[in-house]
């Protein structure tokens, strides 16, 4: 039994041939410069103003960084389902003070952000905002 096709391949080839055939005369009709040099531009660029650019960048940086510094890291803070409210404590046998993980997790479980962390907070103080 012979197979009947829709002829889409033939139509695609015919369309491509028509497009390429129409583009060939347009490409040959393009003007040639003929070796003549183009004139020099008459306008000049302004001098670069570095101070206003830096002022704008540093001013915008504070507005961009402040939300990240103040963002509440623990979404369950101060709720009954807060997983950071738990702490692990180890008390050495040689009489030293106990070491606890609550020193690190307490700022987060109280609802603080990155600036409230013990070691990260002072470093974030360098950034504006």
CA 30, CA 122: separation in Å to the nearest integer? 65
Per-residue pLDDT tens digits for 32-67: 656 678 888 778 888 888 999 889 888 888 888 888
Contact predicate 58/128, CB 8 Å: yes
Per-residue pLDDT tens digits for 106-125: 887 888 888 887 788 888 88
Domain residue spans in the chain?
73-129
- Is the pTM here over 0.85, yes or no? no
CA 20, CA 85: separation in Å to the nearest integer? 71
């Amino acid at each position: 039994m012979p197979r009947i096709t829709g002829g889409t391949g033939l139509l695609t080839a015919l369309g491509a041939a028509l497009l390429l055939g129409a583009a060939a005369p347009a490409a040959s009709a393009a003007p040639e410069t003929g070796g003549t040099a183009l004139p020099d531009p008459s306008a000049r660029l302004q001098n670069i103003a570095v101070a206003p650019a830096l002022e704008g960048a540093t001013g915008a940086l504070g507005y961009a960084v402040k939300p990240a510094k103040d963002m509440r890291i623990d979404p369950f803070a101060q709720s009954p389902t807060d997983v950071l409210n738990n702490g692990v404590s180890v008390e050495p046998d040689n009489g030293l003070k106990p070491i606890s993980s609550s020193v690190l997790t307490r700022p987060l479980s109280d609802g603080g952000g990155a600036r409230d962390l013990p070691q990260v907070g002072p470093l974030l103080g360098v950034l504006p905002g």
